[in-house]
Amino acid sequence: MKKILGFLALFPLATGHAQLSKSQFDTLFELCLPAESESGWLEIGWEIDLWKARQRAAKEGKPIFLWEMDGHPLGCT
Amino acid sequence: MADREFVFGRADVQKLLRDHFVTVAADDWYQRRQNDAVGKFFRAVADQGPRKGAGGSTRQGRYAFTASGKLLGFNNNRDPQRILRMLRESLADFKQLPAGERMPGAVKVPPLQRSELERRFARTPPDGGLLVRVHSRVLDKDKEGGYAACGKAGANQDSLRHNGFGASSDHLWIRAAEVQSFLENVRNRREGTALPPAIATRIARYHLVDNTRGEPPHWGRDEIREFKLNAVPITGRPGALRLSGTFHLETEKGDRGYAGVMEGRLQYEAKSNKITRFDLLAIGDHWGEGRYTPGARPGKHPLGIAFTLGDPGKPQDRVPPQGIRWEQGYYEAEKH
């Protein structure tokens, strides 16, 4: 588990607003991004245009798999 | 979110989809409303299954179908074994179809111009603008006073319910004219430049949100108690800016809020006025939940949000922001 040691001493939330050092920023920024282990679902190769998917499926002779959600499945859902 | 973790994160599902299907992901909010060729095609497929969108309701789920629009399978369950079964059965059914339904080139799909799409529901990335990925993650404070990620993905394999500990995804769009205007201001003011109100308010209202458990409520203009984000040139590094600021968002009743600080790095090429780096971090305490985001931890807890440039060549980085369903309201967040 990633962690940032001693961070709060320099960073009182909502009040005080101490600056982040470069290393603190880099570490916390990285922590908030998706880890590689969380990103396997993107390796499938999703289209985001249904019509383009239709055209590809027709050309390649494959069926279409559609992941349809309220909120984009590759975005905020 | 749970599908990513429990279904599409699995190697066997990924291989089956990559090898045998053309995969596409879409937002049902648009497609169930679009009165154009795309919307009509989608609904014609979906209405062959159990979800027919009665009363305008959702048709969300996972569908397998042919290029001609024949439904092969439907599933709205995140049990990976049920999804795998549906995929295999759909593939077997596909292979039984007449050659004219399945052979490469047999089905003709006409071209479709963007101008043929219903304008109200067509979202196009801003030409020459910035496509920014936005990822939120709930955090814990550890014994040493630092931060750590909460738990691990996959912790709820038995219930197949995600715990909201993973990184969420959304996208921030900034128009080219907004970027140019901002950089002009930066050049003319060495002491620091505030972000233009439209961008600042857009970030505050639509992107400083807890979307780690689903579609979040966005902030109203009157819920921005404070938002300051300034860009200051970094001495000795041409085109480099340091971003820093503070924010406090809170409902009138105080039952939901987010307050903290922002820090970031921006780099631009002076000749082309092109931004090549936009890394911004918001970190603060968040509290409360929304209608579609139940299960927040009681009380105030740290939430981090990272912004970084997307790759326009990747479909997943061209997905519209969640907050852009009303396009004018998104781009003119300071007015509406």
Mean pLDDT by 10 residues, chain B (336 residues): 85 96 97 96 94 85 97 92 96 97 97 94 95 95 79 59 81 96 85 90 98 93 96 92 95 96 94 94 94 89 96 96 97 95
pLDDT value at A4 more than 70: no
Secondary structure element (H or E) that encloses residue B185, with its range: helix B176-188
pLDDT recorded at residue B44: 96
Q: Chain A residues with CB inside 8 Å of B101's CB?
A: none
pLDDT recorded at residue B87: 97
pLDDT recorded at residue B155: 56
First and final CA of chain A: distance in angstroms?
A: 25
A60 and B279 within 8 Å at the Cβ level: the answer is no
How far is residue B99's CA from residue B113's CA, in Å, rounded to a whole number?
A: 29
pLDDT recorded at residue A16: 42
Q: Chain B residues with CB inside 8 Å of A9's CB?
A: 145
pLDDT value at A12 more than 60: no
Q: How confident is the model at residue A10 (pLDDT cuts 50, 70, 90)?
A: very low
| Chain length of chain A | 77
How far is residue B51's CA from residue B185's CA, in Å, rounded to a whole number?
A: 52
pLDDT recorded at residue B172: 98
ipTM (interface pTM): 0.93
Residues A35-58: what's their mean pLDDT? 94
Give tens-digit pLDDT for B257-310.
999 999 999 999 988 889 999 999 999 999 999 998 888 888 999 999 999 999
pLDDT recorded at residue B153: 52
pLDDT value at A19 more than 80: no
Give the minimum alpha-carbon distance from A10 to chain B in angstroms, rounded to a whole number: 10
- A49 close to B (CB below 8 A): yes
A68 and B109 within 8 Å at the Cβ level: the answer is no
CA B223 distance to own-chain centroid:
22
How far is residue A66's CA from residue B49's CA, in Å, rounded to a whole number?
A: 13
Give tens-digit pLDDT for B180-191.
999 998 888 767
Asked if B135 and B306 touch (Cβ cutoff 8 Å), the reply is yes
pLDDT recorded at residue A2: 43
Interface A-B: count of C-beta contacts within 8 A: 287
Residues 5-34 of A with CB under 8 A from B: 5-9, 11, 13-14, 17, 19-20, 25, 28-29, 31-34
